[in-house]
Amino acid sequence: MKLNEITDNEGALKRRKRVGRGIGSGTGKTGGRGVKGQKARSGVAINGFEGGQMPIYRRLPKRGFNNIFKSDFVVVSLGRIQAAIDAKKLDGKKTVDAAALKAAGVIRREKDGIRIMSDGEIKAKVAIEAMGASKAAVEKIEKAGGSVKLLAPVAEAASE
């Protein structure tokens, strides 16, 4: 094999289409843009425009709101915790909290705390500290011999 014999696989490289290069190319004259008008020009952005009619996003009423004070919990399932204990990423004898789960790679970030859900099974006897837990999750943990401590939300200092 020589350097001048090296070629790419067939179909690996697609040549770009050169538009507006004569009528014989098949993409000459209008360059694949149809006929004249606003859309044939550059810089067209008419998403949601309905030809002067009141657009649907203005015809429909506004609804709901975003609560800026809402807590955003990271949901962690019991099966995920058990998998981390089985893989020796989590120590089942120590308290399992948000910092331990983050260090084990179970969660990516803590946000406003963690909430435990009952998906999966837990066999290990673990003590869990979390901002919240479903009733079914608490039952499964206590059945396995573990305990759940629910933390109170941290109240921010009142501004003067």
| 24 in a structural domain | no
Q: Under a CB-based contact definition with an 8 Å cutoff, are residues 123 and 83 in contact?
A: no
| 117 in a structural domain | yes
| 88 in a structural domain | yes
| 34 in a structural domain | no
CATH of the domain at 120: 3.100.10.10
| 108 in a structural domain | yes
Residue 76's DSSP bridge partners are 116
Q: Under a CB-based contact definition with an 8 Å cutoff, are residues 138 and 148 in contact?
A: yes
Global pTM value: 0.59
| 118 in a structural domain | yes
Tens-place pLDDT, residues 4-35: 999 999 999 988 999 999 999 989 989 889 88
Residue range(s) defining the domain that contains residue 120: 74-150
21: tokens are: 């290069």
| 95 in a structural domain | yes
Domain count, the chain: 1
The per-residue pLDDT for 155 is: 60
Confidence of residue 39 (pLDDT cuts 50, 70, 90): confident
Where residue 154 falls (left for φ over 0; alpha for ψ -120 to 50; beta otherwise) is: beta
| Burial environment of residue 73 by CB neighbours within 10 A (0 to 12, 13 to 18, 19 or more) | middle
Tokens 């949601």 locate to: 48
Q: For residue 106, which of 96, 121, 94 has the smallest C-alpha distance?
A: 96
| 82 in a structural domain | yes
